[in-house]
Amino acid sequence: MERRKFLIGVGGASLGSGALVGSGAFSAMRAERPVSIQVSEDPGALVGLDRCPGSDNAKYAGVDDDGELFVDISEKPNEGDGVNGDSVYLFHEVFRVCNQSDHSICLWVERENGWPEVDSGPSKGDPRVDFYLGADPDDSILGASNGHELDSGDCVCIGIKTNTVGLTSAEADTILEPVGDDINLRADSECPDGVEQPPQENECVPCSVSESDGNEDFLTIESVDDSNFPEVTVTARVETDAGGDGDLKAEDFTLCETFEGDNFGQDPTVAFAGEDERAEADVMILMDTSGSMDDEDGKFPNAKDGAETLVNNLGPGVNVGLAQFPRDGSGTPDAEVLDPLGTDKTDIKSSIDSLTADGGTPMEDGINVSQQELENNGRDVPAFMVVLANGVESFSSDAKAAANTAKGDGTTIISIAYGDDADEELMLGISSPPKNGDDDDAIQAGDENAFVGGQDDIANIFEDIGEIISGTYALTYQTCNPDPSDSTREVLLHVEDSQDSRVATDTKEYTLPST
């Protein structure tokens, strides 16, 4: 695959009043302590710009005849490999900035025309190009609010991240190349707006609650998504009147994380998935369209009517998508997304109504394409996959393995074993764990995330699923301990529903993706 070039110039560095001080040459130091750099007689160069010494990625940087730093990441012999589409590249320690003034300065990178952003998927909203300190891509210096304080005589190396996820290589060219036209490295006498630098990690403070605080049974942690660690998202269901209506606020939740034998408080943002205009969730409906779905009168039409009932019960803040297996009713071991997340609900119902039944049951493919759609076009809100299937798997499908991967990435899977021939054990196995009872009993009781149904009650089942989605909250936080060496952690969530004077606590373990 051809690698694409990424070419920028970092110029116009300014100090305080805006005097041009960026230069590849280093001035004589005006500081009490020495630094180990070569100097030249250029007293105007209060900020020194050069390649990062000792770094393999220094080959991407240089200083031109005008004393302006440039970065060239393109396909050239012994120089660079470029960047491709649909990829994330981290170039640690590319160039170095040295403060050669006699006082501290604040450094940040800005762009006159703003930054192009990723427009879908888990990294939605992230800049396509980011600059960070050294080898830590989480330590961004984009914008004045991320300014880095650099003491007199100190130097820091800067890394570059490119994110072309969702783009072809040609599209990456179109977006990345113009970025370099107006990037500026800014140096001011102090960090604006009271920004304290260098950035500090979240302070770990002891948790204010314990597992014994609140033993009522109305709270369930559905899943823990650690795929973007150190960012973690906890999806939880709160079955109280206020919880189901979305009336609980961030202050009603206490979230803690256990590592190194102790419990520490975290600071989450809270999003609600319900039926009113405030609610937000992403829901993929996955329908079995194999031939056995149409083996008796009314079976397939009733299933489609039930799915349309679910769509009707989800509010305007809920993005819905539709997938089927097999693809186009062709009987091949494949599946497809018919309507991506966010499709108009009238169009979703029209697609459901036009489904036809034919072929085998490649459920694994259906789960995989649905999860891919949630990852590519989902938002930072609770994610659900509702799977209706009749019969047993075919084409050597492994739906349980696919479901475990999806659940590990934070998706709540709700299954419906539909009809007399449905594999109830399999459908229980792919669903997210129930809140009450043993797993073996859950599907018989229709408890929580696994349902058994036929033509007569399928509409009611889909209504129940709408209620399950309605009471779900997504709590997202940056862990105060990003050290991945502590691989297994436990999340503790505590809810105080003041409207009903009820208190509950639940816990769930997760294992870091790096392990």
DSSP letters spanning 198-223? SPPPPPP-B-S--TTS-B-S-EEEEE
| CATH number reported for the structural domain that contains residue 406 in this entry | 3.40.50.410
**Could you tell me which of 105, 129, 127, 106 has the C-alpha nearest to residue 117?**
127
> Could you tell me what percentage of the chain is helix, strand and coil, using 3-state DSSP and rounding each to the nearest 5?
20, 35, 40
Side chain identity at 341, as an amino acid letter? L
What is the reported pLDDT for 470?
A: 67
User: Same domain for 84 and 46?
Assistant: yes
Cα 135 to the center of its chain, rounded Å: 21
Answer whether residue 376 is part of any domain. yes
The answer to whether the CB of 377 falls within 8 A of the CB of 341 is yes
Domain membership flag for residue 297:
yes
Angle, CA of 99, 105 and 107, to the nearest 5°:
90
Which of 194, 228, 255 finishes a domain? 194
Residue 401: the pLDDT is 93
SS3 78: coil
Considering the domain boundaries, does residue 209 fall inside one? no
Helices in 177-294 by DSSP H: which ranges? 241-245
Is 176 in the same domain as 288? no
Residue 293 and residue 251 share a domain: no
Task: Tell the residue number behind the tokens 């031939």, with chain if given.
Answer: 291
Chain centre distance of CA 321 = 18
| Domain CATH code at residue 486 | 2.60.40
345 with 461, same domain: the answer is: yes
Which DSSP symbol is given to 157? Answer: E
Please state the φ and ψ torsions of residue 59, each to the nearest 5 degrees: -65, -20
Provide the 8-state DSSP code for 501.
T
- State phi, psi for 97 to the nearest 5 degrees: -120, 130
Residues 6+ apart with CB under 8 A from 318: 273, 279, 280, 281, 282, 283, 469
In a domain, 338, yes or no: yes
Alpha-carbon distance of 54 to 92, in angstroms, equals 12
Residues 485 and 462 in one domain: no
Rg (CA), the chain: 27
Q: How far apart are the first and last CA of the chain?
A: 30
173 and 227 co-located in one domain: no
Each residue's pLDDT expressed in tens, for the chain with a length of 515 residues: 333 344 444 443 333 222 223 333 333 222 222 222 222 334 345 677 788 888 888 888 877 666 566 777 765 544 445 677 788 888 889 888 888 777 788 888 887 677 788 887 767 888 888 999 998 888 999 888 888 888 888 889 999 888 888 888 777 777 666 655 567 777 777 776 544 444 444 578 899 888 888 778 888 887 888 878 888 888 888 878 788 777 888 889 999 998 877 889 998 888 776 544 445 789 999 999 998 898 788 899 999 999 999 998 887 778 999 999 988 755 567 899 999 998 889 999 999 999 999 888 899 999 999 999 999 998 877 889 999 998 788 877 889 999 999 988 889 899 999 988 888 889 988 998 754 444 444 444 334 688 888 888 898 888 888 877 766 788 888 888 887 776 789 999 999 988 878 899 999 888 886 54
Q: Assess contact for 381 and 281: CB atoms under 8 A.
A: yes
Whether residue 306 sits in one domain with residue 240:
no
Q: Which long-range contacts (CB under 8 A, 24 or more apart) does 40-44 make?
A: none
Domain count, the chain: 3
Shared-domain flag, residues 454 and 480: no
Contact between 46 and 100 under an 8 Å Cβ cutoff? The reply is: yes
Residues 21 and 107 in one domain: yes
The two tokens of residue 228 are 């973007």
Asked if the structure places residue 185 within a domain, the reply is: yes
- Distance between CA atoms of 218 and 361, rounded to whole angstroms? 36
pTM more than 0.95 = no
Q: Which helix (H) or strand (E) holds 323?
A: strand 318-325
Domain holding 463, by residue range, is 281-470
Given a contact cutoff of 8 angstroms between Cβ atoms, the answer to whether 159 and 94 are in contact is yes
Q: Residue 500, Cα to own-chain centre: how many angstroms?
A: 33
The H or E element spanning position 465 is helix 458-470
Q: Residue 19 and residue 438: Cα distance in Å, rounded?
A: 71
Q: What is the DSSP letter of 110?
A: E
Burial class (CB in 10 A: 0-12, 13-18, 19+), 83: buried
On whether both 266 and 359 belong to a single domain, the answer is no
Do 249 and 349 fall into the same domain? no
Q: Contact at 8 Å (CB) between 477 and 441?
A: no
Q: What whole-number distance in Å separates Cα of residue 514 and Cα of residue 492? A: 22
- Residue where the block lists tokens 């470029």: 82
**What integer pLDDT is reported at residue 35 of this predicted model?**
27
CB atoms within 10 A of CB 366: 30
Beta carbons within 8 Å of 401's beta carbon, 6+ residues apart: 364
| Integer angstrom CA distances of residue 309 from 83, 286, 454 | 46, 14, 15
Instruction: Tell whether 205 is covered by a domain.
Output: no
Alpha-helical (H) ranges within 183-288 are 241-245
Residue 187 and residue 229 in one domain: no
Residue 452 lies in a domain: yes
* Nearest-5° Cα angle at 341, 175 to 415: 140
Residue at which a domain ends, from 179, 194, 209: 194
Residue type, 274: G
Residue 213 lies in a domain: no
Q: Does residue 18 sit in helix, strand or coil?
A: coil
